[in-house]
């Protein structure tokens, strides 16, 4: 009996010593995950993936002006990629249009247009959310962006139609497929609205449908850009 009692006391002492050697705040087992990329109270999510999220950071539920922020989930690093500014006057307004994510890269459409119209003086910006760096920047005038894609290397592609500032594009309006990578911006194909669709970039290969036929092109990651955007 005494031996059993002594053994029990010895085991209890060993467990106590082990508990004292565990650092304060730590826990045995799987460590708790850090909460990163928490959204502001009135945020509006524009795009989200397993690795990143892009949102409009409104300061209140009634605020109309807000920065568009991209957050890289592995580190919680945030990058302002655009600003949404709505005007109460019947003049141009700056908005955030299409937004796409691929790995750490985000491509976003800048729109500066008369309210309720497709015509714009905006463009496409691509950022690397890991480094805050602008990867590519395109300005376009009187163009409506119909589709947008970004690759895992920061390559971008888009489908546009010429805009006459009407509320809807004409079925016979000119349309075109564009790309921007290490070779610079290119017009890949031209036609009419409705001819092109299903724009995708996977493993640096751009694909799209042209009148029911699949087209493809291998792209190369672009070098980091400056704020001096290329005009198209």
Read off the pLDDT of residues 112-151 as tens digits, 9 standing for 90 and up: 655 555 445 678 999 999 999 999 988 887 678 899 999 9
Q: What is the pLDDT of residues 25-64, one digit of tens each?
A: 434 444 334 468 999 888 999 999 999 999 999 877 655 6
pLDDT at 64: 66
Give the 3-state secondary structure of residue 20.
helix
pTM to 2 decimal places = 0.75
**E-assigned strand segments in the chain:** 44-48, 52-56, 66-72, 77-84, 93-102, 105-113, 123-128, 133-139, 143-150, 156-162, 174-181, 184-192, 196-202, 205-210, 213-218, 230-231
Q: How far apart are CA 164 and CA 172, in angstroms?
A: 12
Q: How far apart are CA 24 and CA 160, in angstroms?
A: 58
Q: What is the tally of helices (H) and strands (E) in the chain?
A: 1, 16
In degrees and rounded to multiples of 5, residue 42 shows phi and psi of -105, 25
């Amino acid at each position: 009996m005494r031996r059993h009692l002594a053994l029990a006391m010895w085991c209890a002492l060993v467990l106590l010593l082990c508990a004292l050697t565990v650092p304060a705040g730590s826990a045995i087992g799987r460590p708790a995950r850090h909460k990163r990329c928490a959204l502001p109270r009135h945020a509006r999510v524009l795009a989200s993936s397993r690795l990143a999220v892009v949102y409009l950071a409104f300061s209140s539920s009634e605020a109309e002006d807000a920065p568009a922020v991209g957050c890289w989930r592995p580190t919680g690093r945030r990058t302002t990629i655009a600003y949404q500014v709505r005007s109460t006057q019947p003049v141009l307004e700056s908005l955030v249009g299409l937004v796409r994510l691929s790995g750490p890269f985000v491509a976003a459409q800048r729109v500066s247009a008369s309210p309720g119209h497709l015509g714009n003086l905006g463009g496409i910006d691509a950022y690397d959310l890991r480094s805050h760096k602008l990867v590519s920047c395109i300005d376009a005038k009187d163009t409506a962006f119909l589709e947008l894609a970004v690759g895992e290397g920061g390559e971008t592609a888009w489908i546009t139609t010429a805009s006459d500032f009407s509320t809807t594009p004409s079925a016979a309006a000119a349309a075109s497929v564009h790309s921007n990578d290490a070779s610079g911006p290119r017009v890949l194909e031209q036609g009419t609205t409705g001819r092109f669709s299903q724009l995708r970039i996977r493993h640096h290969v751009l694909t799209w449908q042209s009148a029911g036929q699949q087209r493809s092109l291998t792209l190369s990651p672009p070098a980091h850009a400056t704020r001096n955007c290329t005009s198209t």
